[in-house]
Each structure stands twice: as structure tokens, then as C-alpha cells.
């Protein structure tokens, strides 16, 4: 059994939500009949943004509910998509008559459960649209981009979509901007050691002492290669190279940079990573508009990190720069 500070493993999801709601100091409240939260005050007539997915990745998703961010978040069990009735309850609690945009990572379970919820919402007269996030370049080749997984780049898409949902009047328009942010986001991760699921107490994968896996997914899904541990600069060069050539990012581009801790990696290491990423971007004459470094999208105590880049254009920059306030992401 891997050590975790929990009570009954079956209660982790509910107890996490309880703690999170208290940490929001009244800015969010629980949605009845659902393991979901919503902003306490939602402007009537607003297009609403609902994010969600399996638990275990805290602070994603429920940590990003707030001003100019998501209006609500629905959480499933650890590493499992929320069920349709939970998503539907959240959808009904959010809708202000202008429809609800679903934003979540591209996984079979999330796709099916949100799709069922969307059908149920439609039958109750609530319009929804869906943007699935697939930023992980390691998970499928570019020709099959819609097979890719959603990882830490989720945060950029939530930030832009949240801004758009605060300013734009139609679900169609919010959808268009969110999809554009998704299309201009790329990420790549590396895992050094596994996380574990509270109910089993067992690691989600095994990896040798001196080994790392470049491109490994948030649930231990395989990446691009398993290698011997290497110096930070060499590792960051390999990862950044794969990200840059995928979009591709070009000289003169302006980007937002996210260096995300998967759970157990130290801030010291993340800063060393940042130093090298910035050097590589400077070499390519890519300018960095904003940098986020920390734990945004985790996989329990998995050791490792991911690098995400969002390419800005005038429209996206305007939404990115809006102030935001939430438990896990606040911007002045």
C-alpha cells in the first residue's frame, strides 16, 4: 500500500470536493445531486462553461472555476469520467438560457459520458456544444490529432474559453474561440515515477529505477519512448523539439508557457526546466507572453512534469489577459 493522507479510500472524491469548496470562501457552491460545483454568482443570460473529468488530477478541473474562467466543474471518481446524470445536473444548474459549452480532455470515457449528457440536455431544451482538448503531442501523430489525449494544456483552453464566455454573447462564438485555443495548444510530458489510485493503493504503472518515460500520459498511458535518466537540459531539449515542430511554432510567434508538475516534482526542478525552455525558445525567436509554473494538472504522486505552449493571436491574447480568480489560478 502506498502511503496517502486519506480517510476511507471510497470517500476521497467527496472529501476533496468538501475541502475545495471551503477553500473558495463562498465563491463557489455545491450543485445538488452531483459531484459538481458552480460559481455562486453567475450573470443571467451568460453563456456558461462547464469543465470536468475524472478526479485525481487536482487542482484540475474544479480548481479553475471562477471569474473569467469556468462557471462550473463536474468530477468523476479517481481517473474515471463523471457519469451522465452528474453532468446533466451540472448543466441544468448552470444554464442561463444561452447554452453550456462542455470543455474536457479527450478520453473515451469522458467523450461518451459527456455525449450522453448532451443528448439528455438537448431533450430538456438546453443547448450544448463540446470542445475536446487534445494537446498531448506524444499520444498520436498529427494526422490523427483527434486521437490525442488532453493534458495540462487544458488550463490554457479553460482560460481562453472562460474569457470568451464572459464577453461573448453566443454559444457558437464561445465555441469557436475555445476550439481555436485548443488548436493552438501543444504539450508534452515526462514521467519519472508512478502515481497510485487511492482505492487500490497500487502504482498505476511500473518503471525501472534509472528509467523515465517521455510522453507518458496522465494515467500512465504509454508515451513515445522509455529511456535512461538524462540531464535536465537534454530532456527538455528533446521534449521542446517535439512540441515546436508539431504545430509548428515559428520564429516571431508569441506564446504562453506552462511548466506543470505532475505531482511529486520539486519547484527547483521545474525552474531548471524553465531556464532551458526559455533558452530554446529564445534561440528560435519565439517570445513568451506569460509563464505559469506549478501544479495545475497532476496525476496523484506521479513524478514528472509537462511543458505546454499556447500560440497567441490578437483575439486569444485579449481573452488570456483578462483578470481571473479561482482556487488554483488567479491573474491580476
Partner 1 sequence: MTVEKLSLSEFKGAMLAIADGMIASKDLLTQADQAIGDGDHGIGMARGFEAVKAMLSEKNFAQIEEVFFSTGTSLLSSIGGASGAIFGSFFMGAAKGVKGCIELDAPGFKNALAAGLEMVKKRGGANIGDKTMVDALEPAVQAAMAYNGNSLGELSLQVYIAAEAGMQRTKTFTARIGKAKTLGERTLGFADPGSISITLIFKFFSDYLKQMA
Residues making contact with partner 1 (CB under 8 A): 54, 76-86, 107-109, 112-113, 115-116, 139-140, 147, 149, 197, 199-200, 202, 204, 217, 219-223
By the 10 Å C-beta count (0-12 exposed, 13-18 middle, 19+ buried), 231 is classed as exposed
57 a catalytic residue: yes
Helix (H) or strand (E) holding 155: helix 154-167
Q: Measured between alpha carbons, how far is 223 from 302 in angstroms, rounded to an integer?
A: 15
Q: Which residues, including other chains, have CB under 8 Å from residue 295's CB and lie 6 or more apart?
A: 59, 260, 261, 263
Contact present, 189 and 225 (Cβ < 8 Å): no
Q: Measured between alpha carbons, how far is 129 from 85 in angstroms, rounded to an integer?
A: 17
CA 103, chain centre distance (Å) = 9
219 a catalytic residue: yes
Cβ-based nearer residue to partner 1, 21 or 140: 140
Contact present, 110 and 104 (Cβ < 8 Å): yes
In whole angstroms, how close is the CB of 324 to partner 1 at the nearest point?
29
In whole angstroms, how close is the CB of 151 to partner 1 at the nearest point?
12
Cβ-based nearer residue to partner 1, 9 or 254: 9
Contact present, 53 and 80 (Cβ < 8 Å): no
Q: Using a CB cutoff of 8 Å and minimum separation of 24, what contacts does 202-208 make?
A: 202/2, 203/2, 204/79, 204/299, 204/300, 204/302
Of 46, 57, 149, 159, which residue is the catalytic one? 57
Contact present, 20 and 136 (Cβ < 8 Å): no
In whole angstroms, how close is the CB of 233 to partner 1 at the nearest point?
27
In whole angstroms, how close is the CB of 123 to partner 1 at the nearest point?
15
Residue 269 phi/psi, 5-degree rounding, is -65, -40
In whole angstroms, how close is the CB of 207 to partner 1 at the nearest point?
13
Cβ-based nearer residue to partner 1, 14 or 116: 116
Of 219, 263, 297, 329, which residue is the catalytic one? 219
In whole angstroms, how close is the CB of 17 to partner 1 at the nearest point?
14
In whole angstroms, how close is the CB of 213 to partner 1 at the nearest point?
11
Cβ-based nearer residue to partner 1, 199 or 241: 199
Contact present, 115 and 121 (Cβ < 8 Å): no
DSSP 3-state percent helix, strand, coil across the chain (nearest 5): 35, 25, 35
What one-character-per-residue DSSP string does 176-200 give? HHHHHHHHTEEEEEEEEE--B-TTT
The grid coordinates of residue 298 equal 497532476
Cβ-based nearer residue to partner 1, 78 or 100: 78
Cβ-based nearer residue to partner 1, 139 or 326: 139
Cβ-based nearer residue to partner 1, 68 or 86: 86
What is the set of active-site residues? 57, 219
Amino acid at each position: 500500500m502506498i502511503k496517502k493522507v486519506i480517510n476511507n479510500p471510497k470517500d476521497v472524491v467527496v472529501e476533496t470536493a468538501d475541502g475545495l469548496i471551503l477553500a473558495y470562501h463562498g465563491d463557489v457552491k455545491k450543485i445538488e445531486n452531483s459531484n459538481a460545483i458552480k460559481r455562486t454568482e453567475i450573470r443571467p443570460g451568460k453563456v456558461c462553461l462547464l469543465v470536468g473529468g475524472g478526479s485525481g488530477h487536482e487542482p484540475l478541473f474544479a480548481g479553475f472555476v471562477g471569474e473569467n474562467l469556468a462557471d462550473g466543474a463536474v468530477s468523476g471518481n479517481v481517473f474515471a469520467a463523471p457519469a451522465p446524470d452528474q453532468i446533466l445536473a451540472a448543466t441544468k444548474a448552470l444554464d442561463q438560457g444561452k447554452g453550456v459549452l462542455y470543455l474536457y480532455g479527450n478520453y473515451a470515457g469522458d467523450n461518451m459520458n459527456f455525449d450522453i449528457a448532451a443528448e439528455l440536455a438537448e431533450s430538456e431544451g438546453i443547448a450544448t456544444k463540446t470542445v475536446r482538448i487534445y494537446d498531448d503531442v506524444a499520444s498520436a501523430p498529427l494526422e490523427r490529432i483527434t486521437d490525442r489525449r488532453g493534458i495540462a494544456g487544458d488550463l490554457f483552453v479553460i482560460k481562453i474559453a472562460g474569457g470568451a464566455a464572459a464577453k461573448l454573447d453566443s454559444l457558437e462564438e464561445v465555441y469557436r474561440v475555445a476550439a481555436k485555443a485548443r488548436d493552438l495548444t501543444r504539450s508534452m510530458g515526462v514521467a519519472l515515477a508512478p502515481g497510485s489510485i487511492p482505492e487500490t493503493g497500487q502504482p498505476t504503472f511500473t518503471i525501472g529505477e534509472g528509467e523515465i518515460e517521455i510522453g507518458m500520459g496522465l494515467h500512465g498511458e504509454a508515451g513515445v519512448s522509455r529511456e535512461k535518466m538524462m540531464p535536465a537540459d537534454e530532456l527538455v531539449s528533446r521534449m521542446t523539439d517535439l512540441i515546436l515542430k508539431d504545430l509548428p511554432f515559428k520564429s516571431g510567434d508569441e506564446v504562453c508557457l506552462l511548466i506543470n508538475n505532475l505531482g511529486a516534482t520539486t519547484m527547483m526542478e521545474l525552474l531548471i526546466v524553465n531556464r532551458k525552455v526559455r533558452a530554446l525558445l529564445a534561440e528560435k525567436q519565439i517570445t513568451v507572453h506569460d509563464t505559469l509554473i506549478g501544479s495545475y494538472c497532476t496525476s496523484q504522486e506521479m513524478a514528472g512534469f509537462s511543458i505546454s505552449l499556447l500560440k497567441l493571436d490578437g483575439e486569444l491574447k485579449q481573452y488570456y489577459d483578462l483578470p481571473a480568480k479561482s482556487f488554483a489560478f488567479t491573474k491580476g
